[in-house]
Amino acid sequence: MKHSLLALTLAAGGLSLNAAAEMDTSYYNDHYCTTCHGADGGGSEGVQAPRLAGMEPWYLKRQLEHFRAGIRGTHKEDFQGTEMQPMAAKLSDDSIADLVQWVGTWKYMPTPVTIAGNAEAGKALYATCASCHGTSGEGNAALGAPALAGQNDWYLVTQLQNFKAGYRGKDPQDTYGAQMGPMAASLADEAAINNVVSYINTLGR
């Protein structure tokens, strides 16, 4: 299937500059997420890109919009976030809707445990978190808090570190991040972060 570049630019939104070459749009579309997020969005530790399979559509959409607008992933110390941000920068609304639909076709698969922390100690810490993220870490759409159970543990650790350090959640427009920031700040140190994530690992999915 060949289209002119112009049509393609409108369709895929992802092409820069140059003029009148022809290219095959059936191959070059916005479905490039799996190179980083792993086969069927199962998460890829090598690229530090988390599991997308099984993610709530509303949360996925919001994160893509936040990345696109630079509300998330623009702090220069946010090493992983700045990897993701340019991937969303050129997505159109239609493309985001299409991606949410596509990601929705992937079946959730369990993530491996890679963090060694004290889950017992983490359980006590998780009490605070449960009010928004749910007692089983299942998330709460009404509060805008995503599921935590079943997410890659190394990713959860990065997020808690980044919220705590102010690399995520500090943009004036990031109202949801603003709720989460102080919660991460309440985790005293690295050990507390590992402990609470170890507890989340036990919640299963």
Partner 1 sequence: MSHSVSRREFMNLLSATFGTGALIQLGSALSLLPMTAKAASLSLAAPMPGKGKVVILGAGISGLTVAWELTKAGYDCTVLEASNRAGGRVFTVRSGTVIDEIGNRQVCDWDNEPHMYFNAGAARIPSTHRNLLHYCKELGVELEMFINESKTAYMQDDNMMGGKRVRNGEVSTNVRGFLAELFAKCYTTAQLNEPFTESESEIILGLIRQFGDLDRNKMTYHGSSRAGYVSGGLLDHGVEKEMIEFKNLMKSRLIGNTFTANEGETGPMLMQPVGGMDMVIQGFTRKLGDKVIYGAPVVGVQIKENGVDVAYDHDGKRHSISADYCFNCIPAHLMTGIPNNYPEDYLTSMRSIRRGEAYKSAFQAKYRFWEDEDIYGGISWINAPISQIWYPPQGIHKAKGIILSAYNFGGGMVFTKMSQEERVEAALAQGEKLHPNYRDVVEKPVTIAWHRMNHMLGCSARWGSGFSGWTDEVQTLFDRLQQPVNGRHYFIGDQMAYHGAWQESAIASAHWALEDMDQRVRSMAAQA
CB of 127 to ligand HEC, least distance (A): 8
Which does residue 109 bind out of partner 1, ligand HEC, none, counting CB within 5 to 8 angstroms by kind?
partner 1
* The one among 42, 81, 146, 169 contacting partner 1 by CB under 8 A: 42
d(CA 127, CA 145): 15
Say which amino acid occupies 128: T
Q: Whose CA is closest to 81, among 168, 145, 146, 166? A: 168
Structure letter (DSSP) for residue 90: T
* The one among 11, 69, 89, 96 contacting partner 1 by CB under 8 A: 89
Q: Report how many residues bind partner 1 under the rule CB under 8 A.
A: 37
Question: Which is nearer to partner 1, 15 or 69 (by Cβ)?
Answer: 15
Which does residue 129 bind out of ligand HEC, partner 1, none, counting CB within 5 to 8 angstroms by kind?
ligand HEC
CB of 22 to ligand HEC, least distance (A): 24
Residue with tokens 């079943």: 150
* The one among 1, 20, 116, 142 contacting partner 1 by CB under 8 A: 20
d(CA 173, CA 140): 21
d(CA 128, CA 28): 45
